[in-house]
Structure 1
Amino acid sequence: MMNSTQVSYFTLAAYFDTRMFKYLCFMFILSLYMLIVCSNVLLIVVICMNRSLHEPMYLFLCSLFVNELFGSSGLFPFLLVQILSDIHTVSAPLCFLQIFCLYTYACVEFFNLAVMSYDRYLAICYPLQYNTCMTFTKVTVLLAVIWSFGSVLCLVPVILSSSVQLCGNVINKVYCDNYFIIKLACSDTTASNVYGLIATCLTIACPVSLILYTYMRILRVCFSGSKQTRQKAVSTCTPHLASLLNFSFGCFFEILQSRFEMNNVPHIVRIFLSLYWLTCQPLLNPLRYGLKMSNIRILCRKQIFL
């Protein structure tokens, strides 16, 4: 057995030889990353520079776009380096740092979506009390809580996995994953497994339950309200629901293929499924909100064609 502190690097075994196509892959990934950065930065700038968008809903959206940049920056530069490299290894500290970044991204994404659903619930179900319930101070506190709690929640598994004894250093993925490192352990991992179940419940089950509850209440108000109320609810809630479903399915695919043997699935498909939740969400969210919400769409046009 060798202690994890003696493991100076991990080998990423999911990469395969693409020969000359690696430069084409590099350009594709780089273009995708630049598109994600530009689209998310544009919407962040538009929201920050226009006082008309300094409302709770748009501030939560700004937090969501910042998180997309955070998660993308934890993955894409790493992929770009590995694609051009002939030896797909990563130092242990950098590997654990990437795990922390990607897990924090997932936690904050679910928490942010849950807070956005709560905001829409108050705006649609209690419109007269909305301004007193959702003040700027409350928005600031909610954003501080979801970011700090998400960071702390994801720091613990990194600390636990870095302290276990490992019997290998080969990770069968294209990026670092805490679950795959725990599978390399040759010491007791009960603490990590128990914490993993608790963290998964807090990260996924609790936010999704809150979102389902708020949307049940929103639907009840919509069906009993006027046509204008229904149109307002659809215009503001549709992008949010699409974002939640997309991210939830992406996480479900990732958990499914991590926990079960999927040797019958083609290798390239497994790589795509493992990257889906980290690539499609940051790419599609700016398009959803930028195109669907008229206030943002109009201001984006003015900003671009200024």
Structure 2
Amino acid sequence: MESLHNVSSAITLESFNIPPQGVIPAFLFASLSYMIILLCNLILIFTIVLSKNLHQAKNLFLLNMPINDLIGSSAFFLQLIKEILTDSRSIEYSPCVTQAFFIHVYAAATVLILTAMAYDRYVAICLPLKYNAVMTHAHITRIIAAVWVTSLLMMAALFYLLLRLPRCRSKITQLYCDNPSLLSLVCASTAVNNIYGLCTVAFTQLFANGMILYTYLHILVACFRSKRSDTKAKALQTCATHLFVFLLLECLGLFTIISYRVKEMTPNLRRFMGSLTLIFPPTLNPIVYGLKTREIRENVMRFFRTVTSSRCRNRVLHPSC
């Protein structure tokens, strides 16, 4: 164990073990993955913001999903790309804590945003006549604000409890910084941190899963009672897409949380699943919601047609015109 007084301010992360000839391909793969996530989520954001016909409750909730995905993926990929490029697995403690904070905010906000979206679908399908009266802009704003304030405050308290503790180690066996990894550097009792962390997970999971279960049971009942087959099919398709994204996130997130408490879990599997949580959902969400939502898909295609037409008018001799 390193001396408490001599502990380095730099944190050493788990090595990638990339051979010299693999550095450039790894850098290009990581950069390309991040650029795809960036491009897809920005297209979704700008499509919703710039299209007035998309300023509806369900799309205002959806707008927060790509914003949150950019927070999580940027916190992960920017540090990852830097480490690959510089061939360094060392990071200062403050940036490490910052990365961990935003990764945890991303995780908490994702669950709460999906819960808010489920509530919106419940009101739209089960209480269609009251939808406009219930889902006013003021009510939507309050829900969105509650999602972000709750996520930020929960994680601020989590990391306040972490930063009050002394460190006596400087090596993390994870590919990125997160709260459990930072707690492993502490040389004091972490009982309070562990209890608060478990309470935070329990609260978000019980609230989210309880709300999802309640809303989807009512939605299924409403769909099967509906005599309009087109309405039933559209509602079930929307809910199936939402439920798929939610279950995917839950499986990845819960596996990562449980893996820290199962000593028999191999570190490589833990690192792999933890990385998937930060790569897969931000890549999949804009594709699923962008391509599966007809209004958004049509607006994206209209935007690209407008750009292409403008390009052709300005450059008549362009081969694509």
- TM-score category, normalised to shorter length: over 0.9
Partner SS state of residue 217, structure 2 = helix
CA contact (8 A) 1:5 1:162 kept: no
Question: Where does residue 248 of structure 2 map in the other structure?
Answer: 246
Unaligned runs of 5+ in 1: none
Q: Tell me the distance in 2 between the aligned counterparts of 1:5 and 1:124.
A: 61
Amino acid at match of 2:304: I
Q: Tell me the distance in 2 between the aligned counterparts of 1:158 and 1:34.
A: 30
Alignment of 1:78-89 (within 5 A): 78-89=79-90
Q: Tell me the distance in 2 between the aligned counterparts of 1:288 and 1:220.
A: 25
TM-aligned CA distance change 1:191 to 1:134, over 3 Å: same
Amino acid at match of 1:55: Q
Report sequence identity in percent: 32
Count the aligned residue pairs. Answer: 304
Amino acid at match of 1:276: L
| 75-84 vs 156-165, which moves further | 156-165
Q: Which runs of 4+ in 1 moved over 4 A?
A: 1-7, 262-265
Alignment of 1:10-29 (within 5 A): 10-29=11-30
Alignment of 1:1-306 (within 5 A): 7-226=8-227, 227-262=229-264, 267=268, 269-306=269-306
Partner SS state of residue 128, structure 2 = coil
Q: Tell me the distance in 2 between the aligned counterparts of 1:5 and 1:60.
A: 48
Q: Tell me the distance in 1 between the aligned counterparts of 2:164 and 2:16.
A: 27
Q: Tell me the distance in 2 between the aligned counterparts of 1:246 and 1:192.
A: 27
CA deviations over 1:98-153 (Å, ceiling 9, x no partner)? 11100000111000000000000000000000100000111111111111110111
Q: Tell me the distance in 2 between the aligned counterparts of 1:115 and 1:66.
A: 15
Amino acid at match of 2:252: G
Q: Tell me the distance in 2 between the aligned counterparts of 1:67 and 1:210.
A: 21
Q: Tell me the distance in 1 between the aligned counterparts of 2:302 and 2:87.
A: 45
CA contact (8 A) 1:5 1:163 kept: no
Shift of 1:93: 0.4
Partner SS state of residue 114, structure 2 = helix
Q: TM-score normalized by structure 1?
A: 0.94
Shift of 1:2: 5.2
Shift of 1:7: 4.3
TM-aligned CA distance change 1:134 to 1:264, over 3 Å: closer
Q: Tell me the distance in 2 between the aligned counterparts of 1:4 and 1:299.
A: 59
Partner SS state of residue 171, structure 1 = coil
Partner SS state of residue 119, structure 1 = helix
Partner SS state of residue 155, structure 1 = helix
TM-aligned CA distance change 1:263 to 1:126, over 3 Å: closer
CA deviations over 1:64-90 (Å, ceiling 9, x no partner)? 111111111111111001112333111
Unaligned runs of 5+ in 2: 307-321
Amino acid at match of 1:112: I
Q: Tell me the distance in 2 between the aligned counterparts of 1:246 and 1:263.
A: 20
Shift of 1:208: 1.8
TM-aligned CA distance change 1:229 to 1:4, over 3 Å: farther
CA contact (8 A) 1:4 1:162 kept: no
CA contact (8 A) 1:30 1:80 kept: yes
Partner SS state of residue 20, structure 1 = helix
Shift of 1:238: 2.1
Question: Where does residue 309 of structure 2 map in the other structure?
Answer: none
Q: Tell me the distance in 2 between the aligned counterparts of 1:207 and 1:71.
A: 19
Partner SS state of residue 11, structure 2 = strand
RMSD: 1.8
Shift of 1:174: 0.7
Q: TM-score normalized by structure 2?
A: 0.90
Q: Tell me the distance in 1 between the aligned counterparts of 2:6 and 2:66.
A: 36
TM-aligned CA distance change 1:5 to 1:109, over 3 Å: farther
